[in-house]
Structure 1
Amino acid sequence: MTPFKLTEELLVEIQQLISEEAHDQLREMLTEFHYADIAEIVNDLEIEEATYLIKQLDSEKTSDALTELDEDVREAILGNLSPKEIAVELEELDTDDAADIIGELPKSIVQEVISEIDDREHAKDIVDLLRYDESTAGGLMAKELVKVNENWNVLTCVKEMRIQAENVTRVHSIYVVDDEDKLKGRLSLKDLLTTSTRANIRDVYINKVDSVNVNEKPEEVAKIMSKYDLEAIPVVDEIGRLVGRITIDDIVDVIREEADKDYQMAAGISQDVDSDDSIWELTRARLPWLILGLFGGAAAAVIMGGFEEMFKAYTILFLFTPLIAAMAGNVGVQSSAIIVQGLANDDIKGSISNRLIKEMLLALLNGFILSILLLLFTWLWKGDLMTSIAISISLIAVIVVAGFIGTFVPLFLDKRGIDPAIATGPFITTSNDIFGILIYFSIAKLILGL
């Protein structure tokens, strides 16, 4: 299968058909397109054109395409649809996707849209999902699943599964519940096919099943599914009743969003923004860290001012100031990045003190190797052994301190319930610049006897 590529020629052709209101040709052209490809086309159309296209195509395809659109584009298109037209789209979606879209609608029309959904059971499930916070497993799950009662026999089980499977896009697992809907285990399809039709499900189901609570954080759900290679995981309420399931496609979205957020934090962007956001929104996201960097630079300048007399005697020290600051920042970011990654993957084990000792030893080894190289370079360049020693020893100290800060800060933030990703960006770089310059000149002053 050749990957879809939206060309300028194709886009112009579609726009031409829309302007001519060539309904049949438009539907014939796009009927074989995947809904993700439809979404890519819609994102590049004017809103009026996009709305027209959505109205012309089968809702079975356009409903999924709506979930793939940029949020602003989707909001604009939905604003051009009537409550009945929105309801028709929602009826084709799984409950989790439908609930997400309803959550984006103006509150003034939400009730009307829900009332227009013909499938009352589907509407009830959507309403049920809306009560969960979107930052929990309950807000992430879908109600569509296949479950069987432990008291059924295999024949009854198969009949019920056929009915339930009609509303489920993919049957990843068959869950077993008791009469109170409490999750008991899962059913192997192989066992179901090889067992007598008169056998009871309670005698063949597997009582070990991984599940998550409705209040679990999506990031924790992602860790569990990743660790156990799960394609889907059941969700239970506070008393253990099966209320939904989370599938791998939802978790991929969570992982991607978390990675985007961490990347922005590491770059010094304090809010979740996109390149298409307004200048004011982008400024608000970036300015706090830029101000921090400004104050950090000012603090470094004040520190350097306190060693003005030493500059006059040893100008070479000034020449190596950028190198010291850069090494401090680089080592700090490296250390914090490793820790943040380990925390995200739940790989950080043991006490903080053991982790700090390990990072300090690593920083000491790296600092020693780098300082030897710097000592040889400076000595050969300037021929001043004492000054070269002072600069090299300062570099070792700066690297060790930077490694300590880069390791301790994200661990400390994580213990306090603060996202440690904040420590991989300008925060670490700025703090290490300040400490690095202070340590550099203090050690040089001590060794050179000034």
Structure 2
Amino acid sequence: MKFTISNELIEKVEQLVQSKNDEAILDLLNEYHHADIAEILEDLNTEQASYIIKLLDSEKTSEILMEMDEGDREKILATLSTKEIAEEIEELDTDDAADMIAELSEERQIEVIAQIEDEEHKAEIRELLTYDEDTAGGLMAKELVRVNENWTVTECVREMRAQAENVTRVHSIYVVDGNEKLIGRLSLKDLLMASPRAHISTVYIPKVDFVDVNEDAEEVARIMQKYDLEAIPVVDENKVLLGRITIDDIVDVIKEEAEKDYQMAAGITQDVEADDSILQLTRARLPWLFLGLVGGIGAFLIMEGFKGTFEKYAVLFFFTPLIAAMAGNVGVQSSAIIVQGLANDDVKGSINKRLIKEMFLAALNGFILALFLFAFVWITKGSFLTALAISVSLVAVIIIAGLIGTFVPLFLDKKGIDPAIATGPFITTSNDIFGILIYFWIAKLILGI
């Protein structure tokens, strides 16, 4: 059954917390999944949420905290002692543990790590904290099942049982040599079918996909998506097996990247959320708004330069918003398709081929739209030349807008700049300016002004 949060549920939880009815709180929340409880806590104030976190068992609250929004989680962690945070950390897989610790101040990180009793867990977390969060190393978990090629099947099964105790899900069994280098993977079916005395070297599969520990997180996501992988091993420059990345971490990467691209397309230069401060939101939005202001001033100067054209053919003025809007819309459409294709690694071939294809596509769309606009202007205004000038301008504007919308993201991608920046205000503003300039220049040429 789908979980649905309601005002009645939140009010009930608030009342139970206020009355400190611990038993009733435990009975109520016991029937919910940890992700549902996280959603409930996000609707409570920090004091109420912290009370519940301290009340529940660490095995459950550690999962709840990881499901919560980062901002809400940070507020709750600020109310917990270093010992309490360490207890939560010890229940988490190393990748989640490292992520949670990374949200703390440097001073608290040292204090929390010192409180972790499991020395191996502590050492692995410290290792993960050394990697950049946007790399494979920053995504990977140390928990996995690895077997040595020199073990017999009997030894392998015994070792796998011991290792599996610390692994939440066994996606794959990785095979290493005597130097801990990744050399392949092991099929559970082949393992079951093999003789107990057979060595793993005779049954393992040498073909295995892997990523370097310094590989960019987006590239890891692309590889896993392309090959439909639920998990992928991570190795160092010597191909020594370090850890693995699972699909749940990649889903988070894809989600974060989509949110970032959406904000950039909307003209927001930083990763911000609705509950961030006014100053943070202003810093994120103002640069693109300023670009729009500059674009508007540019359009004003262009229109002022064609003042004489306006005086003789005032009707041209009333079609200016239409031309500007069409230029902006076509540019955003073209850039959005290219940005999406680049993100999915679907855009291949030379830039010239893409530009030629877009030119023909824009010309076809522009011609169809121009026919309708020509008929409308001729019927309503009764001037063949005016209708011709406006409709021809529309075709030219649409073609140029399509070319700009295609070229800019491809160019940015070639230069190593996120092409998502090309969509939204950047393309809209540039196409508005070019569109208006082309519109009046062609109109002036056809009308002989």
What TM-score do you get using the length of structure 2 for normalisation? 0.99
Secondary structure of the 1:148 match is strand
Report what 1:183 is aligned to.
182
Distance 2:385 2:75 in 1: 69
Which moves more between the two structures, 201-210 or 368-377?
Answer: 368-377
**Cα distance in 2 for residues equivalent to 1:111 and 1:289:** 40
> Distance between the aligned counterparts of 2:270 and 2:416, measured in 1?
18
User: What one-letter code is carried by the residue in structure 2 that aligns with 1:435?
Assistant: F
- Compute the displacement of 1:72 (Å): 2.1
* C-alpha deviation, 1:283, in angstroms: 1.3
Q: Which residue of 1 aligns with 2:122?
A: 123
Query: 2:447 and 2:271 mapped to 1: Cα distance?
Result: 49
Quick check: 29-38 or 394-403, which moved more?
Answer: 29-38
Does 2:226 align with 1:246? no
- Rounded to whole Å, the distance in 1 between the matches of 2:83 and 2:184 is 40
Q: Which residue of 2 aligns with 1:150?
A: 149
Could you tell me which residue of structure 2 aligns to residue 89 of structure 1? 88
Aligned to 1:273: 272
Q: Match of 1:309, as an amino acid? A: G
Aligned to 2:305: 306
**1:65-97 deviation line (CA, Å, top 9, x unaligned):** 111112222112111111111111111101000
Distance 1:29 1:309 in 2: 76
Q: Which residue of 1 aligns with 2:100?
A: 101
Question: Which residue does 1:40 correspond to in 2?
Answer: 39
* Structure 1 residue aligned with 2:385: 386
Correspondence 1:8 to 2:7: yes
Residue in structure 1 matched with residue 59 of structure 2 by the alignment: 60
Cα drift, residue 32 of structure 1: 2.6
* Deviation >4 Å, runs of 4+: none
**Structure 1: how far apart are the matches of 2:304 and 2:419?**
33
Aligned-pair CA distance for 1:199: 0.8
Q: Return the offset for 1:101.
A: 0.7
Structure 2 distance, partners of 1:76, 1:321, is 51
> C-alpha separation between the residues in 2 aligned to 1:101 and 1:10?
28
Partner residue of 1:225? 224
User: What SS does the aligned partner of 1:5 have?
Assistant: coil
Q: Match for residue 367 of structure 1?
A: 366
Distance in 2 between the 1:85 and 1:43 partners?
20
Hey, what's the Cα distance between the residues in 2 that align with 1:371 and 1:340?
A: 27
Deviations 1:120-146 (Å, cap 9, x if unpaired)?
111111111010010111001110100
Moved more, 363-372 or 125-134: 363-372
Q: Which residue of 2 aligns with 1:165?
A: 164
Q: 2-side partners of 1:20 and 1:91: how far apart?
A: 31
User: 2: CA distance between counterparts of 1:286 and 1:396?
Assistant: 33
Aligned residues: 449
State the AA in 2 paired with 1:244.
G
Shift of 1:405: 0.4
Tell me which amino acid in the other structure corresponds to 1:224. Answer: I
Paired residue for 1:256?
A: 255
Q: Partner of 1:246: helix, strand, or coil?
A: strand
In structure 2, C-alpha distance between the alignment counterparts of 1:325 and 1:109, rounded to whole Å: 54
Instruction: Report the secondary structure of 1:33's partner residue.
Output: coil
Amino acid in structure 1 at the alignment position of 2:257: E
Q: 2:48 — aligned with what?
A: 49
Structure-1 separation of matches of 2:259 and 2:63? 23
2:193 is matched with which residue?
A: 194
Which amino acid letter does the alignment assign opposite residue 300 of structure 2?
A: A
Residue aligned with 1:186, SS: strand
Match of 1:329 in 2: 328
Once the two structures are superposed, residues 256-292 of structure 1 have per-residue CA deviations (whole angstroms, 9 ceiling, x without a partner) of 0000011111111111111111122111111111111
Query: What letter is aligned with 2:354?
Result: R
Give 1:39 shift.
0.7
- The residue aligned with 1:288 is 287
SS at match of 1:197: coil
How far apart are 1:238 and its partner, in Å?
Answer: 1.2
Return the offset for 1:28. Answer: 2.1
- Given residue 216 of structure 1, which amino acid in structure 2 is its aligned partner? E
Q: CA RMSD in A?
A: 0.9
1:80 and 2:83 are equivalent in the alignment: no
**Aligned equivalents of 2:74, 2:369: Cα separation in 1:** 55
Distance in 1 between residues matched to 2:359 and 2:121, nearest whole Å: 57
TM-score by length of 1: 0.98
Please give the per-residue CA displacement for 1:183-203, whole angstroms capped at 9, x wherever unaligned. Answer: 101101110111111111111
User: Equivalents in 1 of 2:253, 2:335: separation in Å?
Assistant: 23
Paired residue for 2:69?
Answer: 70
User: How far has the Cα of 1:106 moved from its partner?
Assistant: 1.7
Instruction: Tell me, in whole angstroms, the C-alpha distance in 1 between the residues paired with 2:371 and 2:22.
Output: 75
Amino acid corresponding to residue 84 of structure 1 in structure 2 = K
1:413 and 1:13 mapped to 2: Cα distance? Answer: 53
Distance 1:426 1:200 in 2: 62
**CA–CA distance in structure 2, aligned partners of residues 110 and 320 of structure 1:** 61
User: 1:240 Cα shift?
Assistant: 0.5
Aligned partners of 1:279, 1:109: CA distance in 2, in Å?
Answer: 28
Hey, what's the Cα distance between the residues in 1 that align with 2:142 and 2:90? 13
Return the alpha-carbon distance in structure 1 between the equivalents of residues 46 and 393 of structure 2: 61
Shift of 1:237: 0.8
Cα deviation per residue 1:336-392 (whole Å; 9 max; x = unaligned)?
000000000000111111111111111111111111111111111111111111111
Residue by residue over 1:269-319, the C-alpha shift from the partner in whole angstroms, topping out at 9 and shown as x without a partner, is 111111111122111111111111111011101100111111111111111
The aligned amino acid for 1:166 is: E
Larger deviation, residues 224-233 vs 273-282: 273-282
- Is 1:352 the counterpart of 2:346? The answer is no
Cα distance between partner residues in 2 of 1:435 and 1:109:
54
Offset at 1:251? 0.4
C-alpha deviation, 1:41, in angstroms: 1.3
